[in-house]
Each structure stands twice: as C-alpha cells, then as structure tokens.
Amino acid sequence: MFQRPSPDIALSREEKDRHFENGHDDVETVVGPSVHVEGDFASEGNIIVKGTVSGNVKTSKLLTVEEGAKIFANVKAGSAHVSGEVRGNVKVDGQLELSGTARIAGDISCNVLVVEAGCLIQGKVSMRGLKIDDEHAEKKRGLGRMKRKTSEPEEVAQEEEMEAVSA
C-alpha cells in the first residue's frame, strides 16, 4: 500500500549524476535546505548538506556541502566537495574539491586539493606527500636565531647602557 521512499529522493538530477558517476551511489544522509542540525553528526555513508549543521561532521566517505549550506564546526571526511560555507577545520583523507562559491574559515588538511576560482579560504592549508629533510629544516631554523655581530664600539656602548640601567 505504502511505498518506501528512495534514499536519493531529495537529490536533484544533477546531484544524482555527480554522485553516481563518481561511484558514490550510497547516499546515506541528506540534510535538507530547511533543516538545522545541532550537535555532532557522524555517518559511515555519503552525506549531503543543503541546510545548516552546528556541530562536528564526520564521514569516512564523501561529504558534499551544497551552495547555501553552512557547517559551523570541524569536518572530517574521506573526500569532500564544498560549494557552501564551513567555519571550522576541514580534514579530508583523499580529495577536497572547493567550488567557486566555497567559503572556508579554518585550517585545511587533505591529500589532494582542487580549488576553483572565486573560492575564499582563511586558514592554513597543509597537504600530505611533501617530505622535508628534517636536517635541512633544522639548519634553516637555526639561521634565523643567529645573533647579529656588532662592532666593538657598539658593544662598548651596549655594555655602558646595561651598567647604567642596573645602577
């Protein structure tokens, strides 16, 4: 008598095509445009956010933040496509794709970063894969801490100043 709704009932045709062509046919959760979720949100399947989430979002698969959607907390995902706004740190194990309408206010950590023109990021971006020689980095840090050599008359003047201050 009653038919069980399809799990992708809230997806537009364009969203369905994008998810299915990328092998993400198991959309588990959709936060609709009029929905406001408060609290941490975790899933093992794909998540599409069209509304607002005020809490950490975590999935081991694909997270899609649609244009106009907002997340006010940290995000952790296997991969992500952001067209909306995230105010928090974003950690993605695989590829993070930021469209031209994306707004990120927080640090980003990912393996692969794809940024479209117009995207705004305020925070630090770090990507895995670049190995810096620790010895070289240590030498470079040490150079910044070297004291400037002063000429003899300057040293005498500095010593006299120190004696005057301590007296």
Cα distance between the two ends of the chain: 97
Torsion sign over Cα 127, 59, 46, 75: negative
Q: Indicate the length of the chain as a whole number.
A: 167
Torsion of CA 127, 129, 133, 134, to 10 degrees: 60
Residue with tokens 């000429």: 151
Instruction: Report the pLDDT value the prediction gives residue 147, as an integer from 0 to 100.
Output: 54
Instruction: Report the pLDDT value the prediction gives residue 56, as an integer from 0 to 100.
Output: 94
Please tell me the pTM assigned to this model: 0.65
Instruction: Report the pLDDT value the prediction gives residue 156, as an integer from 0 to 100.
Output: 56
The three-class DSSP label of residue 20 is helix
Name the pairing type of β-strands 108-110 and 125-127.
parallel
Comparing CA positions, the residue from 51, 5, 42, 47 lying closest to residue 26 is 47
Domain boundaries in the chain? 13-127, 134-166
The backbone torsions φ and ψ at residue 130, rounded to the nearest 5 degrees and listed phi first, read: -95, 115
pLDDT at 118 over 70: yes
Structure tokens at 161: 């100043």
Question: What is the pLDDT averaged over residues 113-131?
Answer: 91
Instruction: Report the pLDDT value the prediction gives residue 7, as an integer from 0 to 100.
Output: 45
DSSP class of 130: P
Model pLDDT for residues 15-68, shown as the tens digit of each residue: 444 444 444 456 678 887 888 889 898 888 999 999 999 999 999 999 999 999
Model pLDDT for residues 79-105, shown as the tens digit of each residue: 999 999 999 999 999 999 999 999 999
Q: Are 158 and 150 in contact (CB under 8 A)?
A: yes
